[in-house]
Amino acid sequence: MWKKAAFQKRQGKYKAALKLYTKILEVDPSFQDAADQEAAILAASGNVEQAMERLNDAKMNWPNEKWVYDRFVQLHVVFTGDLDKALDASAQVAHLEPSIMHEFLIPGIVHLRIGDEQTGVELIENYGVEFLKDSTSKLEGWDYLTRVTSQWIVLGGQSVEAGIYKGMGYAFAGRSDLAKNEFKLFLERTGSWGEEVLISVIGDVKVHADAKKFSRSEAYVDEILDRYAAVLHSKSGFPINRVETASQ
């Protein structure tokens, strides 16, 4: 039944998938993946109150499961706009799974979407710096030496390279304006070397940039950065694509 539900969802038949997930939970109330998918489809189809009811039940049943609080953050940011509840859920996620992303990026996104912008900016700034430090510290030997050398000689220091990750953070939050500003500041500081680095990073999400146009046309740079920011935002989990379950 689980595979059939997943298939129906992939086919865009959300009403059928929702019925199957509900049926699975009637048979096995401990099936967490089904509970997660049921809440997700309910929210995406506009049944936010029902989704919240399911998540409150999930919180009672699985108080230490991260996915429950991830969904709460998502729903409060996208639908209810309740800053305190979104931040409480975000803090619970960080408690259950400590990481730089959960300590800085997620609460930063919450603030930039529904809270205090300055607090959001500060959190994203810290995310960029701490993410770079953490990723660099995990390297060993020649890889570490090469990375640190490139940061200082090619890009001008860790604080400059951190600008890429700050820009990513703003893009995840749906703030393409702040993201583009950060990426452009990175380009101003790094010149042609920075262009190569940024084009490579952008290419990681299948956004192709022509190097010649990128170096010659500010309008083209804006276009590419807008596309890149849109892709990152789509991957953040915060734009919830509406689905139809009323008639299928």
Side-chain half-sphere CA neighbours of 157 within 13 A: 4
Condensed to tens digits (0 to 9), the pLDDT of residues 121-147 reads 999 999 999 998 887 776 555 454 444
- In DSSP notation, 101-131 reads IIIIIHHHHHHHHHS-HHHHHHHHHHHHHHH
pLDDT of 142 reads 44
Side-chain half-sphere CA neighbours of 3 within 13 A: 0
Burial 200-212 (b: 16+ CB within 10 A, else e): ebbeeeebebeee
What Å distances lie between residue 93 and 60, 61, 89, 149, CA to CA?
A: 16, 16, 6, 35
**Region of poorest pLDDT, from 33-42, 55-64, 122-131, 133-142:** 133-142
Question: Is the per-residue pLDDT at 166 higher than 80?
Answer: yes
Nearest to 131 by CA among 156, 108, 155: 108
DSSP 3-state of 246: coil
